[in-house]
Structure 1
């Protein structure tokens, strides 16, 4: 899919990876970018940027945005949260993670699938995580939701292939965003990650492994589980 001249919509576009996607899309010649977020106050409208309020946990909000953006050919599911919910903690934390990180992109993709079909097929990019495959007890809710989103993305890829829609999953470890500000680990720059994702879209690739830790974890999935989780002994 060519980025130049296309119309895209990015969720969670007010900061971090979403903001980087908007910047990289414009750099690559996108004709229009709908920059969506719950709070659009921090998004500056421009000749090619159209801010739209979108709450991906609210079906009415998703439907309203889809009605306003019928020219979209590239959908970027980026919006997400990290609550540090644990498996044995309060259930509402797990539900928040699932509603935003799993049901959110599922809602948005379902609503925009017919629009993409009408506009020639296009593409969907969904931000996932190395934690789709690797659990962390201190953020288990996030891992559970991203694992579910990975499964949903695989299913969407198969179901939308018939209408010519490319579905690209982006897995990555630590990215230099506000969500990861408290962690002193090597981080990928959000613009570098967005660039990788858009290059994959242009090349027709179904998956992006955004950094070395992600590539290592995926390669280890077929091996002994204890190598991924040394604490198991």
Structure 2
């Protein structure tokens, strides 16, 4: 998938990994629709800014109607909350599943015909290594990412006939504002180099997309996938960061 002269839409582009995706795509010569629920927070020179709430089907439809030239869809936006499955707030669990699974599905269903008309293109879903493990205190997020992984694999089969590459980025802990704030509140000490730098992760993802890879893994993703051959394991965040 050649990204130069492509047209990409990035969800959750107002901060974190999504913002870096938009900036790097522009640097590589792509036209970029940078989307967010609050578009006034998007500050990306050269981007076409759109309002988009991936959990609202009407909002998704409006974005699709405004971006008919898209041939690369980056599904990055998602809630990282959720909490414990057994004792956590059920509304938070539903919100996490709604954004990670149904929000991603809304986007793919809306943009699949557009990608087909534009030659096939590509979809990149931003997952997490906890899709293959889980994480104490936020098992709902791991479960939602597991569901999104299954969605990604299913959609890949369904869209193969129209020539659409469907890829998954499966990273571990990344030094976003959200992750740094969480570590501070939790009192976690972070050693140098323990987390991905967002721009490095984005470059890994886009290089993989250009190479036609269907799963793009950082070191955490490689380790997490290896655990699938043995007993289920939980991701130890404190050990990974300390």
Question: Under a length normalisation based on structure 1, what TM-score does the superposition of the two structures give?
Answer: 0.93
Q: CA RMSD in A?
A: 1.6
Task: Check the 8 A contact 1:101/1:145 in 2, yes or no.
Answer: yes
CA distance in 1, matches of 2:102, 2:178: 20
Instruction: Please list the CA deviations of residues 113-160 of structure 1 after superposition, one character each: whole Å capped at 9, or x if unmatched.
Output: 000000000000000000111112300111111000000000011100
> Are 2:189 and 1:191 aligned?
no
- 1:214 is aligned to 2:221: yes
Matches within 5 A, 1:99-114: 99-114=98-113
Contact 1:102 1:146 in 2 (8 A): yes
Structure 1: which 4+ aligned runs deviate by more than 6 Å? none
- C-alpha contact (below 8 Å) 2:23/2:44 kept by paired residues: no
Return the match for 2:69 from 68, 71, 79.
71
Output the CA distance in 2 between the equivalents of 1:51 and 1:191: 20
Structure 2, unaligned stretches of length 5 or more? 184-188, 237-242
Preserved CA contact (<8 Å) 1:74 1:122 = yes
Distance 1:195 1:68, change over 3 A: same
Partner of residue 144, structure 1: 143
Separation of aligned partners in 2, 1:224 and 1:39: 42
Q: Deviations over 1:5-44 (max 9, x none)?
A: 00000000000000000111011111x1000000111223
Question: How many residues are aligned here?
Answer: 226
Which blocks of at least 5 consecutive residues in structure 1 are unaligned? none
Normalising to structure 2: TM-score of the pair?
0.90
Residue 17 (structure 1) aligns with: 17
Answer yes or no: is the 8 Å Cα contact 1:124–1:167 preserved in 2. yes
